[in-house]
Structures are given as C-alpha cells and as structure tokens.
C-alpha cells in the first residue's frame, strides 16, 4: 500500500473511531439516568421537574446521534469523493495567489458547513430549547447573530489565516515561529478585550447598579483584596433562560459577568458566593496558567504543522497532486485529532481541578453553604443531568459534577 493511501485510511480510521468512541460514551451516559438520586441531591428536583429533566436529556441524546451520523457521513463523502480536492481545484481556477487561494478555500468550506448545519441549529434552538422552556431567541436575533458571527469570522479568522500563509511564503519551514508569536498575541488580546470588544456585539453589558447586592459584593472584594472595576450584568435572557457567570481578562482588564437570569433567580448570598468562586479563579491564577498552557500547546502543534504541511503524500491522501497550504492544513487537522483528544482530557482534568479550587476559595472567604445552594439552583434551572456516567465525565466534563462539588464543599465546611 502506498503512503498516500495508507494516510487516507488512517484518517478514515480516526474519524470512525472517534464516532464510535463518542457514541459509546453517550450511550453509557444516557443509560446511566436513574429515578433514585443520592442523598446529597435529594430535593433539588420535584417529581415533575425531574421527569422534565430526564426527557430533556433523552431528547438531546437522540438529537446528538442524528447530528453525529450526519457529520460523519458528510466527512466521509468529502474524503471518498475528493471533496477537498474539488474545492481546491475550483479555487485554483480563479486565483493562484496563495493567500487568496487559502481564503477562498476555507471561506467556501465555512459557508457550506454553515448552510448544511443550519437546519440542526434551528431545530435545536427553536424546537428542543423552545419545547423545554429555555429559548428566548427571536428570528431577528438568530439572523443578526449569524451576520455578526460571519463578520467576526471574516475579520479575525481571515486576518489570522492571511498572516499564516504570508509567514509560510516568506519563512518556509520556520513560519511556525512567526505564526506562534501572532496567535499567542491574539490569545492574550482576546482574553483582555473579549468582554469590551467582542461580547458587546452580541449582548448588552450593564454595570451592576447601586444597591444592596453591589454593596455586599464591594464589601467582599475589599475583604479579599480584589480590585474589581468591571462588574457587569449581561442580558443572557435575550437568548435563553439558562443562567451562568464567568471571569475574563488580565490585570486591570479583569472582568466578571453575571447573566441577568442568574441575578433574577438567586439570593444576594448566592450571588456573592458565585462571584467569590470567580474571584477564586483569579486569585489562583487559573486564567493566566490556562493561557500559558494554551500558548505552549499551540507552539507544539504549529511546529508539527511546519514539518507536515508541505508533505506531498499528505496532500495526495486528500486527492490533491500538488501540495498547498490549505490542503496540508486540513490533512494535518484530521491526522492530529487523536493528539487533540488526548490533550483535551488533560485540559478537562486541569479545569475540574481549578473548579474545585475556586469552590474551596469561595467557601473559605465567604459561605460554602451559599455556593452549594447556588449550584443546586443553577442545576435545577438549567435542567442539568445529576447522574452522568463517570466515563463521560472523565472525557467530556470541564467541571466536576454537582454531586462531586457538593461533597467537596461539605468536606470543606466540615
């Protein structure tokens, strides 16, 4: 068997294995649902709400099977019928400039994928989420999100791709160093300015108004020595009834965002506890460490890419006779997916560890019981699965399960 043919079947094998492995995990997770909850989780759901949660989880599972099969069939079609080669040839008929060729190539794929995936997105949003009382997205908001997402993709994605190809043309195999520097800078800037540049394009951010909640939050921040200038309420209810909160930014740009759905459904103590959890992420330097690790990972990937992107056998595996940047990038992405999967396990382990630490910080500096109540209420309002399968958690969860977090908090309080 020739090398290109071997590489082709390796890619096909990777895709099939990934589909089957994820399918088995999802099946185990689906079968792990139970009507009998551990003592620590008793009382979170009443019988009617718990039945609704089980139905919601089951519906998402069945829909996930359909989308996974569709995506696998689509990718297999692109591979066996040389779809990537066809798009590459189509682009070559209009431009031989390497930058324009790469932009057109990935632009065509992105638009085609968006069109093909749109029915699934619409069904998920306007049927499933609507049926279970979560969806607040209007047709206008959905369309505007698509337009804004396209705009950001063209500006940011197209800009980075242009830089990558240009670096490749001027620096050859050393392009990865230039690309690494550019994307590292981009990641840092995105962490610093996401909440002030990107997020406002989609949501309104309002400073938390004066009142008892702000007074309690400011008192807590002064107590732990956390200078918080940017505390916002986001109109998450514009799209969904689900609630959340997150921390972003570095240094003076650090920002905490609370969904309005969170503020409306929780007590002051619960909200301060949630904020204390987010402060814990900053105090424990989780955001900073995550950026460093991501930058290091990107450097390794780009170095490997610099060795393989011009490989003729790799391009031939996708049906292209002459190597090109875009075909090499696609083939590399498919081949490297097992490494990405293994790294995702590490990142999930690290993320879960960080969540435990942030919970412990909130319990130490505020009230662990209030955080536990907030977590229970969040799980109920979001119809979260309270009994996921341990293997599914290990491979897919970035946060510990509710039960794990409650047990850790009880141990900390005890």
Q: Among 88, 129, 278, 355, which one carries the catalytic annotation?
A: 278
Q: Among 57, 129, 270, 359, which one carries the catalytic annotation?
A: 359
Q: Which of 67, 58, 56, 64 is nearest to 132 (CA)?
A: 56
Question: Catalytic: 260?
Answer: no
C-alpha to C-alpha distance for 5 and 313, rounded to whole angstroms: 9
Question: Catalytic: 359?
Answer: yes
Q: In what order do the strands lie in the sheet with 255-259?
A: 205-207, 230-234, 255-259, 245-248
C-alpha to C-alpha distance for 77 and 83, rounded to whole angstroms: 7
Whether the Cβ atoms of residue 249 and residue 195 lie closer than 8 Å to each other = yes
Element (H, E) at 232: strand 230-234
Q: Say which residue the tokens 């609630």 belong to.
A: 243
Would you call 100 exposed, middle or buried from its count of C-beta atoms within 10 A (0-12, 13-18, 19+)? Answer: middle
Give, rounded to a whole angstrom, the gap between the first and last alpha carbons of the chain: 64
Structure tokens at 31: 């079968």
How far, in Å, are 162, 249, 332, 333 from residue 327 at the CA level? 15, 35, 8, 10
How far, in Å, are 21, 46, 168, 281, 330 from residue 343 at the CA level? 16, 39, 26, 21, 19
* DSSP summary character for residue 135: B
Residues identified as active-site: 278, 359
């Amino acid at each position: 068997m020739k090398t290109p043919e071997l590489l082709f079947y390796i890619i096909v094998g990777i895709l099939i294995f990934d589909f089957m492995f994820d399918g088995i995990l999802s099946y185990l997770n689906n079968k792990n649902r139970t009507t009998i909850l551990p003592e620590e989780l008793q009382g979170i759901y009443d019988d009617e709400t718990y039945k609704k949660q089980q139905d919601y989880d089951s519906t998402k599972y069945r829909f996930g099977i359909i989308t996974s099969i569709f995506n696998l069939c689509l990718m297999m079609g692109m591979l066996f019928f040389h779809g990537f080669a066809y798009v590459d040839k189509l682009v070559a008929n209009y431009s031989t400039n390497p930058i324009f060729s790469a932009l057109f190539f990935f632009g065509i794929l992105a638009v085609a994928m968006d069109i093909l995936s749109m029915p699934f997105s619409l069904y998920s949003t306007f049927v499933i989420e609507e049926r279970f009382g979560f969806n607040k997205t209007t047709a206008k908001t959905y369309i505007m999100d698509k337009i804004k997402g396209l705009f950001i993709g063209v500006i940011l994605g197209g800009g980075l791709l242009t830089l990558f190809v240009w670096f490749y043309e001027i620096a050859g195999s050393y392009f990865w160093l230039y690309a690494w520097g550019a994307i590292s800078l981009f990641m840092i800037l995105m962490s610093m300015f996401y909440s002030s540049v990107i997020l406002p394009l989609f949501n309104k951010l309002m400073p938390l108004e004066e009142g008892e909640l702000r007074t309690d939050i400011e008192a807590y921040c002064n107590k732990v020595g956390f200078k918080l200038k940017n505390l916002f309420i986001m109109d998450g209810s514009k799209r969904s009834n689900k609630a959340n909160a997150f921390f972003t930014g570095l240094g003076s740009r650090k920002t905490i965002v609370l969904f309005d759905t969170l503020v409306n459904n929780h007590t002051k103590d619960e909200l301060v506890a949630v904020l204390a959890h987010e402060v814990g992420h900053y105090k424990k330097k989780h955001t900073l460490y995550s950026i460093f690790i991501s930058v290091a990972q990107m450097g390794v990937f780009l170095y490997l890419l610099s060795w393989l992107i011009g490989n003729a056998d790799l391009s031939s595996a996708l049906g292209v006779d002459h190597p090109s940047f875009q075909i090499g990038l696609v083939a590399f992405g498919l081949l490297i997916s097992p490494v990405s999967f293994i790294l995702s396990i590490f990142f999930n382990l690290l993320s879960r560890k960080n969540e435990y630490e942030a919970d412990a910080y909130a319990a130490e500096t505020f009230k662990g019981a209030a955080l536990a109540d907030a977590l229970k209420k969040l799980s109920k309002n979001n119809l979260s699965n309270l009994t996921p399968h341990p293997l599914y958690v290990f491979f897919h969860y970035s946060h510990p399960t509710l039960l794990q977090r409650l047990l850790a908090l009880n141990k900390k309080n005890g």
